[in-house]
Structure 1
């Protein structure tokens, strides 16, 4: 049945009214959104390469960076800069500023039209946690140093923990345990930490989460490395049947849980480059920089008798020690498209090194003497400056290194009291302890309690 002209006209009128109403609602919504103040959508810790402490700010619309600088404050008072154009922005405390306690951030600013961002109040602790492998009844355990100075456990007790590696994004730990039969197991421990909250009472140290085994197989040995993306490189060898040598495998255990077999045959422990995407592989003729999949395969070789001591955080450039035919050692800084720059050359043994974010400051541990060995911390600057401080009465715990925290400007290491003459057979040696060195004054402070290994856990 065909509609009459009157009914057709009424339908058209209702349709026009609906279209007009929809347009009016759209205009009203547009006006409301136009006059609505900007909102903070995300506030998170930025990657370590951005600076010693950095926050990434993302808003509902572009914000004037200059207005954030002038309207925002950090307490205790701390100078900072805002980098970026509009959205997102990066908040960076001034280079060289020491952060020795949690910060209160009052965040404010205006968008491009002058509308004010509602003032936000946040509490932020960008300092890393201090972790240690400590001896306990029944074996060893990873523990965390709390603000009160007590050690709180994070892992089960194993007969031994041969390696503990903090994941570069702060999300957890890579661990190698050893049982009483000498068999090794690889684990990943998830960690959770409240380092950025709306209430100061919610700030806290890392807490243990899920403990995940890498494999059900036992290994003859295992070595781990991590990068800022939270990937974990597992280099392990399983015992082969019969007279065959142990079968080594190199697997990249990625942050998301997937695994990639890399099919390498290295001549020593592999180290992931901090920024991700590459690794340093010891080879028979030097150190090779290799890309990680899925990036196209590339290889660059640094020839000579060199080891890997540490990385420069920005750019991931290595600091390799070099061994010379006349028994001297040197520490070099590798720059793109340039010959390695010698930072130090001498007769002492080079035990460990650490580097600031941009490579402007480098620290090294040197050992000199045989009957009366002397441990020295050496501070080097890019312009050739050099300072030394003897650590009399101490020796570096074998198998451990030196690590730098730029937020508090401190170096972390494990030191054992030096015993001269050496203890007699069957007598016990003094236990190693965690030591903190002020990276500017080189003053040493020892922490109470025995340790086996020490490391920083970034806030992530």
Structure 2
């Protein structure tokens, strides 16, 4: 018995000693991961070996080039977000320091981080089309095979992949998911260490087909969890299918009837469903079924980066259209109304600034870009003379780099006076959201979108 007591006492003493050693060991950074933030894609999740003092971490952490940032959380984990109103145009260097709640300092952790979005495009290649990505050094990399036609691309909201709808010469559609990988975080030994050549580069790691059955049509939507919603009808003219294709590979068929395109909410867990009575907001399993409806003839135009904000187009009986900002718990806020064609829109983080793309005129249509504040006041107006929007494309906002993206085609008179207009290939056009200045990228494309950093 005496030997047993001595063994138990020795075990207790060893456990106490180990506990004291652990308590006096400096805290460590266990994980640093790119996070999908509600205000935009530029955010980092910080996980430590023990709860930290957020004020100490905020005071002793720095970003190069110098950027304001917010630190959210109670101690472990923490969320680091660059402050609003700052453009991220280069990779960042991060020096992470701070004390835990006992006042013990953490050894500095030095990282390189590239949170910039990439430009994706459908590019004509020979007699077909291919998805390509523009790397940050300006070079283009092929991501997909060459198909006869690509009717839609949908970047997954977490940057992990890309949904594609291809069409063959017989009009048969297929849905694909390209799996992508991007190395946008790298640990370094010093803040002035050279940037890694692979930092921020996107490459394809695989391709999955949604179904072997040919489809009559398909349209896609995604959320920040990387799920892909596939709304389709088979060539056999069966009923419309609505399937949620999870990032991990599983699927769930949704028994929902819709009168138009269904969209996943970026934050996940809900759908926007067009119905005869109006637009409805529906929860997804495993949440309790719930349906809220906004009556009237409305279409979803675009989502804002901040959760719960969106832009709607309302159709009026006199054939006018209006653009509305929707926020949680509030009635839709009218921003613009008129008889012009409202073809696309985008909004800043919380809808503080909104952009509307209009087509005015019939005989000689003009493309007009408006910048509005959240009350509908016109901040800027630019006529995009000599340009037309590539059919089927939209207006896309990058909240990290503060850039707008359009796919534009120039109209030129290459024939004698009175002859038909000759059209060149479409090009990606980057637009400064504050001055509305245009910067063209010399690349023939069919459509272009942003791929958030993953």
TM more than 0.5 = yes
TM alignment of 1:5-20, pairs within 5 A: 12-20=1-9
Contact 2:93–2:110 (CA under 8 A) maintained in structure 1: yes
Equivalent position of 1:143 in the other structure: 132
CA distance in 2, matches of 1:425, 1:453: 28
> Aligned residue for 1:32?
21
Match of residue 416 from structure 1:
409
Aligned to 2:148: 159
Q: Distance in 2 between matches of 1:26 and 1:40?
A: 24
Preserved contact between residue 305 and residue 399 of structure 2 (Cα < 8 Å): no
Q: Distance in 2 between matches of 1:421 and 1:248?
A: 45
Structure 1 segment 176-191 matched on structure 2, within 5 A: 176-191=165-180
Stretch of structure 1 that moved more, 309-318 or 95-104: 309-318
**Equivalent residues of 2:300, 2:311 under 8 A apart:** yes
Q: CA deviation at 1:246?
A: 4.6
**2:283 aligned with 1:291:** yes
Query: How far does residue 422 in structure 1 lie from its aligned partner after superposition?
Result: 10
- Is residue 372–residue 420 contact of structure 1 (8 Å, CA) maintained in 2? no
Going from structure 1 to structure 2, the CA distance change for 1:350 and 1:421 (only over 3 Å counts) comes to farther
Aligned 8 A contact 1:310 1:354 in 2 = yes
Q: Secondary structure at the match of 2:206?
A: strand
Q: Which residue of 2 aligns with 1:95?
A: 84
Distance in 2 of aligned mates of 1:459 and 1:156: 22
Conserved 8 A contact 1:393-1:418: yes
Query: For the structure 1 residues 339 and 247, does the alpha-carbon distance in structure 2 shift closer, same or farther, using more than 3 Å as the test?
Result: same
Q: Give the drift of 1:24.
A: 2.5
Alignment match, 2:373: 381
Aligned partner of 1:398 in structure 2 is: 391
Q: Is 1:349 aligned with 2:349?
A: no
From 235, 238, 244, give the equivalent of 1:239: 235
Residue 328 (structure 2) aligns with: 336
In 1, Cα distance between equivalents of 2:238 and 2:19: 68
**Matching residue within 214, 218, 223 for 1:218:** 214
Q: Give the CA deviation at 1:420.
A: 5.7
* Structure 1 counterpart of 2:313: 321
* Aligned equivalents of 1:75, 1:322: Cα separation in 2: 45
Residue 276 of structure 1 corresponds to 268
Q: Which of 350, 354, 361 is matched with 1:358 structurally? A: 350
TM normalised by structure 1 equals: 0.92
Q: CA deviation digits over 1:278-336, x for unaligned, max 9?
A: 11112223222222222222222222221111012223333111122222211001233
Where does structure 2 lack aligned partners over 5 or more consecutive residues? 189-194
Alignment partner, residue 4 of structure 1: none
Count matched residues: 445
Q: In structure 2, what is the equivalent of residue 229 of structure 1?
A: 225
Which 10-residue stretch deviates more, 333-342 or 148-157?
Answer: 333-342
Match of 1:263 among 249, 255, 264: 255
Q: Equivalent residue for 2:433?
A: 439
Shift in Å, 1:70:
1.5
| Shift, 1:22, TM fit | 1.7
Is residue 129–residue 205 contact of structure 1 (8 Å, CA) maintained in 2?
Answer: no
- Local SS of the residue matching 2:153: strand
Write the deviation string for residues 308-365 of structure 1: whole angstroms up to 9, x where unpaired. 1101222333311112222221100123333211011122110100111211111110
Written as runs of structure 1 = structure 2, the 5 A alignment for 1:300-311 is 300-311=292-303
**Greater alpha carbon shift after TM alignment, 321-330 vs 123-132:** 321-330
* Residues 106 and 212 of structure 1, relative CA distance in 2, 3 Å threshold: same
The alpha-carbon deviation at position 427 of structure 1 amounts to 8.9
Q: Are the equivalent residues in 1 in contact too, given 2:89–2:401 (CA < 8 A)?
A: yes
Given the two structures, how large is their TM-score scaled by the length of structure 2?
A: 0.94
Is 1:209 paired with 2:209?
Answer: no
8 Å contact kept, 1:220–1:246: no
